[in-house]
Structure 1
Amino acid sequence: MHSTKPSYIHKIGEQPLKYTTIGQLLQETADKFGERKAVVSVHQNEFLTFFELLQKADKLAAAFKLLNLEKNDRLGIWAPNLLEWYITMMGCARAGLIAVYLNPVFEAPEMVYCINKTQIKALVCADKFKQRDYYESLLTIAPELVNCARGDLQSEKVPSLKTVIRISETNKRGTYNFREILDLANDSEVANVQKFQQCISPDDGCSLHFTSGTTGKPKAALTSHYKMVNNGFFIGKGMDLSRKHHTLCVQVPLFHIFGTDIAIMVALNHASTIVLPTNGYHPSKTLDAIKNEKCTVVYGTPTMYTDLIETQEKRKERISAEIAVIAGAPVTPYLIEQISRNGCKVELLYGLSECTGIVFQSVLTDTKKAPELVEYVQEHFEVKVINESGGVVPFGTAGELCVRGYGNMLGYWEDEEKTNEMLGKDGWLKTGDQFILEEDGSGRVVGRLKDMIIRGGENIFPKEIEEFLVTHPEILEVQVIGTPHKRLGEEVCACVRVKPQANLTLEDIATFCKGKLAYFKIPTKMQIFDYFPRTMSGKIQKFKLKETLSEKNL
């Protein structure tokens, strides 16, 4: 019998929220665990202790002030996973700047948009990454660099940008070198950074994360020190990280909330060591880092774990951590079972940039339990599930998940209209996720509202079909999308990646589904892909799959 109670839960915190800044938290951690490693960059063969991290952050913050950067100015970080990335984030926090986290694979037009959208005044960028030369890319954005004095860029395309700092061993005209900047300030100027901490409020904005921009231009979600500090603390508390020293293998990109909020802020709160296996993503090197650095926790998206398991089978090695943290995309029961075979606990996280990080969290030790179930709402959050009219649906009924709590963003940068669409004056934030909340506090994501397929009047959520199809012995990954149909409106298409030498047909899929899925959920079309287009954070871009199918007239 279904519950008639409204699906609303308020998780009252067992511990009070912290009213502090990221910079003050760094100072506190360095005072207690100064000699402990804060970050190990395997590919750079370098590491920093928390004391060294604080020292370098303060040197950088002092240099920022000498470069005429003032409190609340925006500084962009455009680089892959480097030790300097962590230093720059902390330097911004200690200087009272707002860090703008930029995808390291952004092309010139995307960078122009982001710089102008948030009025970035200074940019810290890498030297090279994959096939990209960042200086050459910058010259297409601001050709004036080659003739300007350092720190005095006057660009027609990006007028707010004045200073460019390169993480490089070489010097280029119009730019500073990162290591040079660290030695720019004298001891007195560095000491003044400590005094300046009292001028920064926990409620001040500190970071801007751009949304994926799958529909329209990306929006920049602004969050505060207070929100990031507390989300990091409670995520780590849920993982019981303070019980002992943990080493976190971070294969996700740092620019994403998975890197900043779920990795860096968790590590800072719980004095954990972050390990960066590579500047990008390489499953084999990640396995090496887990083994050699004795990592106890691994961070990754479902796709990354699929790759790790496949690579591990090829290497015929048994490499496992204590905890596998999964976020960024839906995960299937089959993948949970594979990860758990070596005794690894699975930590499932649900959240979004607009909520600073995580709203639901669970540790799964029983792999028979459906992985979409999350054991509890994060402390100090309220959640409810609503229908199309805004009314709260009963427990156990699907609807849109709404969130209210300390973690909700301050708003989208200079976009009041979009902010008001998502974040109501009553403080409730609409997630856009179709969700079922149970009376015991557990919940599950059914899918994205925009991904729902309507076939002949039947509402179909792709996630259910994907979770079933991935158990087929010849399928590696699957994405289910709706394609146009004259009579039914939409029909179900399975986009699949298959194992080598597999010979999968649509008839095979139909036979596999018969008797297991309702007839209207069984795919009537199939397309095999060698790879799925992904964002830098590992999310599969369904809209690009739809574009490909449209080109093929499917």
Structure 2
Amino acid sequence: MSEFSYLSTPRITPYNYRTIIEVFKDTATSYPDKEILIHRGIDGTRESLTYRQLQTKATKLARYLVSKGVSKGDKVALLGPNTLEWVIAELAIIMAGGVVVHVTLSISDVKDLWEIFSITECKAFLIDPGKGEKYLEMISQLISILRRSNSSRDDKNVNSKDPTLVFLRRNELLISYENLPGVLKMKEAAVEFPPLNPEDEIIIFNTSRSTGKPKLVPHTHSILNNVEREAGRPKDMLQSGKMYNDRPFAWGAGSPIIAVCKGETIVFCDSSIAIADDGRNAMKIWEVIKEEKCTSALLIPYFLLDLVAQKDYYQDSFKLEVIMTVGQPIEDSHTQVIGVFTKALLVGYGLTETLLITTLPPIVTSGKLDSRDVGKPIPSTEVKVVDEDGNVLKKGDTGELCIRSSSLFNGYYKNKELNDEVFLPGKWFRAGDTGHINDQNHIVLEGRIKDVISRGTRKTMPYRIEKVIMQMNGIRHVAVIGVPDKRLYEEICVCYVTEPGHDISPADVEQFCKENFTGFESLDGLGEMPTYFLRFFNFSMSDNGKIKKKVLRTDAILRLRKQCLM
């Protein structure tokens, strides 16, 4: 056995060199009347799409996009909550030869969104305005910027080079723009679709780095079409069962495109429901899972704890075959769902850039668990541990994890500097996480190299919050840190120092944040709204003038505990 910190798992299934659209059409032909998407509300509402319906609607929207000038390789922004229309739009963009730019909404200012749109030079925008007026302010800001940047805009001119704007549902306040219901009633445009290649980019995911600047992560047909199924998930479960997954569709873990193309029915609710009301919706969501007779579910760790809190009151015999969970370390308490809500628990570790990397063997009994153990690489994946210079360490030594796999992206979009930083020779990707390989040949995570807060699996960049709070008059220093939280793993704590002569209370800072950040009303119910606010008279600083965040975090935790806030 090698003494080096290196693990690999060979590929199980043959490589499928086809496009996502080819796979989708084959599956739709085999199961035309199968419900592939089911959108549920905890109030009992239910909407669904069969393969035939999805294919018909996506094809018509795709022809409309082509008629409006969307060409192969053009970037098309897609944003909004989880809906059936969102999936129709994503499939249509790919059919038209476009590249879907996934966008999530975190703060109320649209400037961050526009930065992404500008970098990718989006040719069109497909937006779900949601129900009521929830996102109208953001949409209004976006339209205003579009008009300023495209003064000669003409949506009705087929040959116009200005961006196309389509809303995915009808809203009385947006009637001057095209919407999906209206497009579906139009006569289908007589246009040809461009030829697609398995190595064409089709989706760009958006994630953030510690500087607050967006990292744009492209994935191709071949990458998404060759994601190996998780160990412990029976192959026949994919086409015979239903999976519950309410993660935002714009996230890697929530993206429905792989499941849709391979025949696995997805059941979903609005992503914000699970986090709302301190977990009191858990059993309402579970009732949806039970009513739909789901066989598996992707459930976030905090939701598992919400279920555990109800286990003594749950008397039903219904159980899932397997619950999968990702995003943050799993403790012993999470395993208490086994035997009550599920037959097995599958723990995974992955990144937007790599998709799934490792899984633990299915856990079938509750009990002791190494919370940092994330198991072995999934098929077609290699992992090694390196030092700061990129040299492979000896087994058991701690260093940075590096990944190489068939699901690894080819590099950040238009960011050569960052690509040079994260890729080692041989196309090894530096994951940014530290860990080691233990005696069982499992990966054990030990921390994050960069200062990122993980709240309910949402990765929050302190810099994004700090730069907003620094706009508040009278703030001298601000540092945003993560503090422990039993349910969400970490919570966001704002620590600040005021300028002399300014008396700014924690309540004042909290109110300022409420005016600038979204929380429960965001797509995933979390957003970037901080939870705790602490005023300091000064910060401990390093010789080069930087805030000593480790010291600050320790002080903040002590103060919060003394105040009985955690």
Q: Which residue among 236, 239, 245 is the counterpart of 2:233?
A: 239
- C-alpha contact (below 8 Å) 1:250/1:275 kept by paired residues: yes
The CA deviation at 1:397 is: 2.2
Hey, what does 1:167 align to over in structure 2? 169
Query: Per-residue deviation at 1:320?
Result: 4.0
- How far the C-alpha of 1:148 sits from its partner, in A, is 5.4
Q: Check 1:154–1:164 CA distance in 2 against 1; reply closer, same or farther (3 A cut).
A: farther
The question of whether the paired residues in 2 share the 8 Å contact of 1:76 and 1:100 is answered with yes
**Could you tell which deviates more after superposition, 276-285 or 172-181?**
276-285
Work out whether residues 21 and 202 of structure 1, in 8 Å CA contact, stay in contact via their aligned partners in 2: yes
Match of residue 188, structure 2, among 186, 192, 213: 186
Q: How far did 1:154 drift?
A: 13
- Is the 2:230–2:359 Cα contact (8 Å) retained in structure 1? no
415-424 or 273-282, which moves further after superposition? 273-282
Give distance in 1, aligned partners of 2:314 and 2:389: 53
Aligned pairs, how many? Answer: 470
Pair 1:141–1:344, CA change in 2 (3 A): farther
Matched, 1:300 2:302: no
Amino acid at match of 2:344: K
- Structure 2 residue aligned with 1:254, among 246, 249, 274? 249
Q: Tell me what 1:528 maps to.
A: none
Distance 1:434 1:246 in 2: 36
Question: Where does the alignment leave 5 or more consecutive residues of structure 2 unmatched?
Answer: 275-280, 463-480, 489-517, 539-555, 557-566
In the TM superposition, residue 343 of structure 1 has moved relative to its aligned partner by 3.9
Distance 1:332 1:533 in 2: 26
Matched residue SS, 1:138: helix
Q: CA deviation at 1:153?
A: 12
Kept in 1, the 8 Å contact 2:68–2:159? The answer is no
Q: C-alpha offsets along residues 175-203 of structure 1, whole Å, 9 cap, x if unaligned? A: 211122234453754xx44xx4xx11111
SS of 1:305's partner is: helix
State the match for 1:120 in structure 2. 122
Q: 2:198 aligns with which of 202, 222, 236?
A: 202
Cα distance per residue 1:422-441 (max 9 Å; x no partner):
12342000001112224654
Whether the 8 Å contact between 1:167 and 1:179 is mirrored in structure 2 is: yes
- Measured after TM superposition, the shift of residue 53 of structure 1 is 1.5
Cα deviation, residue 493, structure 1? 9.0
8 Å contact from structure 1 (residues 360, 378) kept in 2: yes
Q: Point out which structure has higher relative CO (alpha carbons under 8 A, 6+ apart).
A: 2
- Pair 184,371 (structure 1): closer, same or farther in 2 beyond 3 Å: farther
Partner of 2:264 in structure 1?
Answer: 272
1:138 aligns with 2:142: yes
Counterpart Cα distance in 2 of 1:343 and 1:352: 25
Which residue pairs with 1:177 in the alignment?
179
CA contact (8 A) 1:264 1:274 kept: no
Normalising by structure 2, what TM-score? Answer: 0.73
CA drift at 1:314:
7.8
Cα distance 1:335–1:412, how it changes in 2: closer, same or farther (>3 A)? same
- Partners in 2 of 1:406 and 1:175 — Cα distance? 41
Whole-angstrom distance in 2 between the partners of 1:227 and 1:56: 25
1:219 and 2:215 are equivalent in the alignment? yes
1:274 counterpart SS class = strand
| 1:110-156 per-position Cα deviation (integer Å, ceiling 9, x unaligned) | 2211111211111111123573225434344335699954356999x
Match in the other structure for 2:401: 401
Alignment of 1:360 onto 2:362: no
Greater helix content = 1
How far apart are 1:241 and its partner, in Å?
Answer: 4.0
Please state how far the C-alpha of 1:230 moved relative to its aligned partner.
Answer: 1.0
Cα distance in 1 for partners of 2:243, 2:17 equals 26
Query: Pick from 7, 14, 17: which aligns with 1:16?
Result: 14
Q: Give CA-to-partner distance per residue, 1:505-534, whole Å, 9 cap, x none.
A: xxxxxxxxxxxxxxxxxxxxxxxxxxx979
**TM-score, normalised via structure 1 length:** 0.75
Q: 1:30-69 to 2 correspondence within 5 Å? A: 30-43=28-41, 45-69=46-70
Q: C-alpha offsets along residues 380-400 of structure 1, whole Å, 9 cap, x if unaligned?
A: 121101122322112222211
Q: Deviations over 1:399-444 (max 9, x none)?
A: 1110012222121111110111112342000001112224654222
How many percent of aligned residue pairs carry the same amino acid? Answer: 22
For residues 309 and 394 of structure 1, the distance between their equivalents in structure 2, rounded to whole angstroms, comes to 39
* Gap regions ≥5 residues in structure 1: 453-461, 467-478, 482-491, 500-531
For 1:200 and 1:550, the matched residues in 2 are separated by: 56
Separation in 2 of the partners of 1:137 and 1:319? 47
**Are the aligned partners of 1:125 and 1:166 in contact in 2 as well (CA < 8 Å)?**
yes
| CA distance 1:430–1:47, shift in 2 (3 Å) | same
Distance change (3 Å), C-alpha of 1:450 and 1:90: same
